[in-house]
Structure 1
Amino acid sequence: MAYDKSIPFSFLKDGVFYFERRIPRDVQHHYDTQKIAYSLRTRSAMVAASRARRAADQLDEYWYHLRIKDTALPGKHRLRIAARNQSHPPSKTLNETVNLSEAVGIYLRLKGKGRPATFKRAAERSCGYVIDICGDKDLQAYTKADANRFRDSLIERGLSGSSITRVFGTVRSVVNFGASELGVTMANPFGNVYFDRQADVKDRVPLPDDVLRKVQSECKRIDDDLRWLVALVSDTGLRLAEAAGLLREDIILDDQVPRIVVRGHPWRRLKTPTSAREVPLVGASFWVAKRILAQTDASPFAFPRYNKSEETNSNSASAALNKWMKPMVPERCSMHSFRHSMRDRLRAVECPSDIVDQIGGWQTEGVGQTYGRGYPLSVKANWLRRIV
């Protein structure tokens, strides 16, 4: 890591410039860190200087607003006196007022319990974008013009239609929840904002059968923990995070149906309630399970490499494994393609869709699907054997 004094608030790492700035003490209580650092996504010193200066200016402006917010309003006591002297109550009392940043805090405090860290990050990031563009206003002060300006800024950032949809969905939820908690009835300006939801959206592509077999063959040839993770996902359809966060005790081989127990852990929560399931081990996944349990190290984790902190580092796993697979797989294929392939492979043997959903942990529509315990392991195992 090298610092270049000619480019303010930045450092160079592996040829890429990064922005870095310490948070002033007087506004540090608004943050959960002491500094802000992120990639400027450029190797050009000229571009890095421009982006770093722009980011520094935006922070200075935002910190100014935070300081003003934390400072008592001159003459505020006179406003209280004036309110008491009115013959009728003010149209908007103090408990009916909340800024967007405060609404995020309420939202996370009440709805964020037991949710993964990504839930908090999505709320803070999405609403942070709004604050950057439109300011940290009272919820009822935002207008349709603000929402449209926010949309335009996301498009200028180069976000795809699906990413913009997710950001707007989070902002709408925070605003609706904040207004509901305060008992305020309002039209959410971030609802019904038009944009092309299909812009730059790339379909996820399943792996062709011959490519899938080639990848599995390479996994067995190299035979290390990275390739075990790929092979495990390939014949179970597990999400990468589900597989990376497994304990060794989640792998059961000494039973009539060898299987993996997918359950929530403090270091890796499940995406949905239906994600909790048992998946039979067949083909490459059965081979991996035996290789993992044959290891004599002391770690309780199936993949210790990605569980060295309080949270499973599935992003690191995704980056490393996608990089390794890239020369072998078609364009737009990735680790997530194994889940798409699993559905197609089960369709090819005419597996009923509700069994497919139980194997992959997908949500099945209909009230009746919530009754009972689902299909026995032996039934799921029979269908999985057909595809290997």
Structure 2
Amino acid sequence: MSHIQYTIHRSGTYYYNRRVPKHAVETYGRFIRQALSKDRDEAEAYAKRLNNVLEGSWCNQSSVKPVDVASVVESFKPKSVLLSEMAEEYLSLRKIDQTPPRVALEAFLALAGDRDVSEYTREDAKLFVRHLTMKGNKTTTMRRRVNSLSAILNYAYSELDLDKRNPFSRLLIKGEGEDTFRRGVFTNDQLRQGYERALSSSSTVKLIMPILGETGCRLAEVVGMKVDDIDLENDLIHIRPNQARRLKTSNSERTLPLVGYAKLALIKALEMSDGEYLFPQYIKDGKCYATHASNALNKWLKKDFDGLTAHCLRHKLRDRLRAVECPSDMIDQIGGWRSVGGVGVRYGRGYAMEQMKGWIEEIALSVMPKRYADQLDA
């Protein structure tokens, strides 16, 4: 076994052991001896790094800059950091919807415990998947949970400089994709029926339905909308991030024309707003609780429309635009979808508002009752 430079081995432990140059004796004493590790490879790595630090300290013979040798060696050792701590750091840096990763993290920690990030194994990851399966989660949900945890661990391993395989990497989920189903869609008659019920109701949450159905917005985009985002003078709404809620992607920021039932619902919602947010009941402590609005709205929709949900409205709008042969990149621009039509569609500034308004008006459901005429003309 070859000797490790500047070390001695005593009682199962490797020590850094080196004579100090004459010009640095006053600062360090004649010898430096410091425990490194019981593991030979680890001790060799620490000795090389400490050697570099010390030589940097006393390289200038006229001015020796002292270092705390014990603290330096301690800094070489891998830090023990809990998964929950790394998750908080990761989430504080990422501009993403924090609900999915937090749900995944909570379930995993309850199952495998909050341990040092380096301790989790492939068996922990497989146990998590089995747990989700037994809970009845669909495979798409399971994949989202796995991907969330994988991203947190990738961040942790990178930040802590750990050479370790991510236990969630390339994890197979049995029957993945086989339990998917096509979402149902509203008929035009169901849409008009729902819009009329929403406008005649005293429930503010029901007003979200016509706004979603006639703009194609995501629910959180509407629930977290500020009053300043609404321009009734020009019949426009601005979908943009604010303090209470982020947007899903960079493509999500957009301006949309406001017509028909969507305009009527917004006018009524504005009358019940607090002057800052359109739906203030879902803004608490500066955060948008879109999930609460989703639960309330879906409870009504599922009951009255055979299990259909708010997200089905977004699917329906895309189908309606396809039916009138609206260009696919225009559809993506209206819905804030990431376009998959190639690099070219990302060049330029997109379609003009008048063009977008033309397509929205073509699919808009006509407002039948005369009692709405004054509001639409306002």
Matching of residue 193 in structure 1 with residue 188 in structure 2: no
User: Aligned equivalents of 1:125 and 1:307: distance in 2?
Assistant: 20
User: Aligned equivalents of 2:262 and 2:38: distance in 1?
Assistant: 75
Cα distance, 1:199 vs structure 2:
5.6
Task: Identify the match of residue 151 of structure 1 among 111, 120, 129.
Answer: 129
User: Aligned equivalents of 1:329 and 1:357: distance in 2?
Assistant: 27
Which residue in the other structure is 2:258 paired with?
281
Task: Identify the match of residue 337 of structure 2 among 345, 353, 362.
Answer: 362
C-alpha spacing 1:140/1:291, structure 2 compared with 1 (3 Å): closer
Pairing of 1:325-336 with structure 2 (within 5 A): 325-331=301-307, 333-336=308-311
* Greater mean alpha carbon deviation, residues 236-245 or residues 141-150: 141-150
Give the unaligned 5+ runs of structure 2: 1-12, 16-33, 47-75, 365-378
Query: Which digits, 9 at most, give the CA deviation of each residue in 1:82-113, with x for residues without a partner?
Result: 4268775347952365443343234234x33x
C-alpha spacing 1:327/1:140, structure 2 compared with 1 (3 Å): closer
Report sequence identity in percent: 32
Query: Which digits, 9 at most, give the CA deviation of each residue in 1:258-312, with x for residues without a partner?
Result: 111111011121111111101111221122233345x387522222332344222
Query: Which digits, 9 at most, give the CA deviation of each residue in 1:309-358, with x for residues without a partner?
Result: 42222222222222222333133x11111100000000000001110011
Q: Choose 1 or 2 for highest CA Rg.
A: 2
Which residue in the other structure is 1:386 paired with?
362
Cα distance, 1:240 vs structure 2:
1.4
User: Aligned equivalents of 1:306 and 1:253: distance in 2?
Assistant: 23
Cα distance, 1:207 vs structure 2:
1.1
User: Aligned equivalents of 1:278 and 1:339: distance in 2?
Assistant: 16
Which residue in the other structure is 2:60 paired with?
none
User: Aligned equivalents of 1:250 and 1:342: distance in 2?
Assistant: 22
Secondary structure of the 2:163 match is: coil
Pairing of 1:31-46 with structure 2 (within 5 A): none
Pairing of 1:1-388 with structure 2 (within 5 A): 82-83=35-36, 89-90=42-43, 93-95=76-78, 98-109=81-92, 111-112=93-94, 115=95, 118-119=97-98, 121-195=99-173, 196-198=175-177, 200-222=179-201, 224-255=203-234, 258-293=235-270, 295=271, 299-331=275-307, 333-365=308-340, 366-388=342-364
Alpha-carbon RMSD across the aligned residues, in angstroms, is 2.7
Give the residue type in structure 1 aligned to 2:249: T
C-alpha spacing 1:241/1:379, structure 2 compared with 1 (3 Å): same
Q: Is the 8 A contact 2:273 2:280 kept in 1?
A: no
Cα distance, 1:166 vs structure 2:
0.8
C-alpha spacing 1:377/1:134, structure 2 compared with 1 (3 Å): same
Compute the TM-score of the two structures, normalised by the length of structure 2: 0.72
* Greater mean alpha carbon deviation, residues 276-285 or residues 300-309: 300-309
Give the residue type in structure 1 aligned to 2:298: N
Q: Is the 8 A contact 1:96 1:183 kept in 2?
A: no
C-alpha spacing 1:197/1:100, structure 2 compared with 1 (3 Å): same
* Greater mean alpha carbon deviation, residues 170-179 or residues 213-222: 213-222
Q: Is the 8 A contact 1:248 1:292 kept in 2?
A: no
Compute the TM-score of the two structures, normalised by the length of structure 1: 0.70
Q: Is the 8 A contact 1:144 1:190 kept in 2?
A: yes
Which residue in the other structure is 1:14 paired with?
none
